[in-house]
Structure 1
Amino acid sequence: MARNKRAKVRTTVSSSADSSHQNMGSVRKSVIFLCVVALIYAAYLVISGQWGEFIESLRTLNNTWVVLAMGAYVVYFFFGVLAYVLAVIDDPKSPVGIRDLMSVEATGIFFSNLTPNGTGGAPAQIFRLSRTGLSMGGAGALQYTRFIVYEAGEGIFAALMLIFRGGYFVETYGNVFLIGAALFGFKIVEVIALLAICLAPRLVMRLGNAVLRLVKRFAPNKDLSKYRSFLDTQVLEFSRGFSHAARDWRRMLATLVVTLIQLGWQFSLPWFVLKAFGIEADFLTCLACGSMIELLTSAVPLPGGTGGAEGGFAFLFAPMFGSEVAAGFVVWRMVQYFLPVLASALVMGLRSDSGVSINTRWRRVRTRFQSFWTSIKRKKRISPNGARINPHRLRHKKRSRR
């Protein structure tokens, strides 16, 4: 039995390592692809006669607001790490440290941005978590739960923006707003599907196998073994990890709140870019448009949502940027995409070597704060001449004065 378990763990680790190597190959192709896209975009500006206007717009740029936009992305990164911290802070035996979680968040940013549909993010993060000493089951449970909460957060954020800014979308974009509503509907279906996997894994496995048998009937030469393997192992691990985390609903709710705040900082980046060009804009409207762009880019099966990001930004922010929309997109894409990819490549190498768990660190901080607070209370109870003040006598004196 133990031998089988060890063999299963070795197989899972090996498959995760293979997945990581495949992701690196996909990353190299994606970098080449994005360079080609950048050249095409530059060629379009030259051919369309917008190059001079583009350069002139960049000359008037207020660099202070660009730096603030970079700072906003750093805050986004901080809340991403905090979401992971909340997941492990109650476990005194967890081997994961703060630097490890910074590396995990950076790994997600790097591989999600450089693989089609962000498919390389979660496997790379699970593999990175397993390198901390966490079991593959524990790493998968932690990452799957974080993934579900993040996806749910995107759907909830989009719903809130549609409630508060739905009228603006209809007035400004007319019937095209239906595309945004359809994207929101797609996100809701995605979250429901993830919850179905978590709450009814056996049913999902039966339906999935039925679909695979149907596919095999029409394509007998197609190899479906990896899909069967996913259904047999990943769905159950996904469900177990979520069920374990969902027992502590308060922590799940706190993680969701942190995720919503994190997304708010990401979606606020266009507002900073508008300020950099000296353009005043409504902050909530920028959040709503940023949320819609995120839904659009996640629906495009290309690295970084290429095509969806350009088209979505040009369409949604053209009324605000006007003729400077091309320059605005370049600055936004630099802050929101290219610089984070470069920075995350540097942060991915961080390791926690202290061996002290986050739970232990948190208890130390809490103990020190309690000691500090107790000392302050004691000082308040001591009179200027050094005598200790009895709070009961103080109450008696107040009553006698009355």
Structure 2
Amino acid sequence: MTRNNKIVLALMLIFGTAIFAFSVRNVSFESLIGDITKLKWQWLLLAVASMMFSFFLEALVVRVLLKREGSLFPMRDAVRIPLIEQLFNGITPFSSGGQPAQLFALLQSGVDAGRATSVLLMKFIVYQSMVVINFVVSLVIGFEYVSDKIHALSLLFVFGFIVHFIVIVSLLLIMYWYNFTKKVVKFFFKPLKFFFKEARYLKWEHIVDEKIDNFYRESLRLKRSWKLLVKISLLTLAQLFFYYIIPFFILLALGVTNVNFLMVTTMHVLIVMIISLFPIPGGSGGAEYSFSIIFTSFISNASKLVLAMLLWRLITYYLGMFMGMIALVLKPKKIQNDENKKNKV
């Protein structure tokens, strides 16, 4: 980690502590301690297990994609990838640091840059598609419920839908209308000439062109490998499922039993979409606020609501970051490629 990353990490931990302190300002300390002592730990352990299994399934996606590329990747090192991604997603705005960090981790393991980039692009395409599918389904199921009870957040859901819809449409345009997409991008890029120096403009244009070209090549490979596409799509759906059901287990741990599994899971999907709209690393502030506003419908007790929010953030945000710090210092084993094995025989 760079010095700046360490500073941001420290600031996020301080900021998170401040948010929790602010959240409990009107809650009786005795009530909070009482709720903690009454926790049903078996359900809380299931929530943690769900998060861990979500990491495992993401690691499995990486391993499957690398195997397809001809690399024998140890599961121990595959698990490092989502954990390091969690760490850098958690300390960068809009989770922008996750992709470069995963690339660095793969290069550490001996995967060549081209192969690593290919794997991460395919992983990103499938992940983004599955997220949008989940979001659209959840929006259909839960939008009326939210718009009736929490009108302000319903506007954020609509905005979130528009943002993710634009992303998926952009991906489809590159996949199926490559030449048209490049022309459109160049058209919208031209006005930048009037605001920036030519050298910087040309540099940005080159970077965007390169990213579009790389994405197009990987999309062609995915379309040809439909069995692989189905396999990693199902793994990604399972990964997201285990992540999305965590609040349900937290509610059960708090003794809240009269809740609808589908509705709680749906609300969590929508909360995750809201978090992605906040530029602050980890959506801090917005994440806690959204959770408190939405889950007040399921938890009427103030201290239990604060505790639920605290447990949720610890499991879904801080756990991954802390494990990512451990994964970052662990040295991976250098992988063996199939071609190298043949040469040794």
Indicate the TM-score class for this superposition, using the shorter chain for normalisation.
0.7 to 0.9
1:267 to 244, 249, 256: 244
CA contact (8 A) 2:292 2:305 kept: yes
- Residue 330 (1) aligns with residue 307 (2): no
Cα distance between partner residues in 2 of 1:105 and 1:43: 30
CA contact (8 A) 1:98 1:352 kept: no
CA contact (8 A) 2:19 2:285 kept: no
1:73 to 26, 51, 61: 51
Cα distance between partner residues in 2 of 1:132 and 1:341: 20
Q: Relative to structure 1, is the Cα distance of residues 42 and 95 closer, same or farther in structure 2, using a 3 angstrom cutoff?
A: closer
Structure-2 residue corresponding to 1:215: 192
Q: Relative to structure 1, is the Cα distance of residues 354 and 180 closer, same or farther in structure 2, using a 3 angstrom cutoff?
A: closer
Structure-1 residue corresponding to 2:218: 241
Residue type of the alignment partner of 2:101: A
Residue type of the alignment partner of 1:233: E
Give the CA deviation at 1:118. 0.9
- Over aligned residues, Cα RMSD in angstroms? 2.7
Q: Relative to structure 1, is the Cα distance of residues 277 and 204 closer, same or farther in structure 2, using a 3 angstrom cutoff?
A: same
Deviations 1:351-384 (A, max 9, x none): 2457376xx9xxxxxxxxxxxxxxxxxxxxxxxx
TM-score, normalised to structure 1, is 0.75
Structure-2 residue corresponding to 1:151: 128
Q: Relative to structure 1, is the Cα distance of residues 329 and 106 closer, same or farther in structure 2, using a 3 angstrom cutoff?
A: same
2:174 to 197, 202, 219: 197
Give the CA deviation at 1:200. 4.2
Give the CA deviation at 1:33. 2.4
Cα distance between partner residues in 1 of 2:335 and 2:188: 49
Give the CA deviation at 1:286. 1.4
- What SS class does the counterpart of residue 127 from structure 1 fall into? helix
Q: Unaligned regions of 5+ residues in structure 1, if any?
A: 1-20, 361-402
Deviations 1:284-317 (A, max 9, x none): 1111011011101111111111122112101111
2:293 to 301, 305, 315: 315
2:270 to 292, 306, 310: 292
Q: Relative to structure 1, is the Cα distance of residues 26 and 230 closer, same or farther in structure 2, using a 3 angstrom cutoff?
A: farther
CA contact (8 A) 1:103 1:350 kept: no
TM-score, normalised to structure 2, is 0.86
Q: Relative to structure 1, is the Cα distance of residues 45 and 232 closer, same or farther in structure 2, using a 3 angstrom cutoff?
A: closer
Q: Relative to structure 1, is the Cα distance of residues 202 and 108 closer, same or farther in structure 2, using a 3 angstrom cutoff?
A: farther
Cα distance between partner residues in 1 of 2:153 and 2:19: 24
CA contact (8 A) 2:156 2:274 kept: no
Higher RCO (CA < 8 A, seq sep 6+): 2
Give the CA deviation at 1:55. 3.7
CA contact (8 A) 2:248 2:261 kept: yes
Residue type of the alignment partner of 1:271: F
Residue type of the alignment partner of 1:246: K
- Is 274-283 or 28-37 further displaced after alignment? 28-37
CA contact (8 A) 1:80 1:262 kept: yes
Structure-1 residue corresponding to 2:106: 129
Structure-1 residue corresponding to 2:320: 340
Structure-1 residue corresponding to 2:93: 116
Q: Relative to structure 1, is the Cα distance of residues 39 and 108 closer, same or farther in structure 2, using a 3 angstrom cutoff?
A: closer
1:161 to 138, 149, 152: 138
Cα distance between partner residues in 2 of 1:86 and 1:141: 13
Structure-2 residue corresponding to 1:351: 332
Deviations 1:231-271 (A, max 9, x none): 23222122212222221112112211211111111011111
Cα distance between partner residues in 2 of 1:29 and 1:196: 39
CA contact (8 A) 2:135 2:270 kept: yes
Cα distance between partner residues in 2 of 1:123 and 1:216: 28
Give the share of equivalent positions with the same residue, in percent.
22
Deviations 1:136-179 (A, max 9, x none): 22211110110111111111112222334444334443574343
CA contact (8 A) 1:153 1:259 kept: yes
CA contact (8 A) 1:297 1:305 kept: yes
Question: For the pair shown, which has the larger CA radius of gyration, 1 or 2?
Answer: 1
Q: Relative to structure 1, is the Cα distance of residues 226 and 61 closer, same or farther in structure 2, using a 3 angstrom cutoff?
A: farther
Cα distance between partner residues in 1 of 2:41 and 2:75: 32
Give the CA deviation at 1:127. 2.4
Cα distance between partner residues in 1 of 2:54 and 2:131: 14
Structure-1 residue corresponding to 2:8: 30
CA contact (8 A) 1:97 1:356 kept: no
Structure-1 residue corresponding to 2:154: 177
Q: Relative to structure 1, is the Cα distance of residues 353 and 230 closer, same or farther in structure 2, using a 3 angstrom cutoff?
A: closer
- Residue 283 (1) aligns with residue 264 (2): no
Residue type of the alignment partner of 1:247: R
CA contact (8 A) 1:165 1:288 kept: yes
Q: Unaligned regions of 5+ residues in structure 2, if any?
A: none
Residue type of the alignment partner of 2:307: A
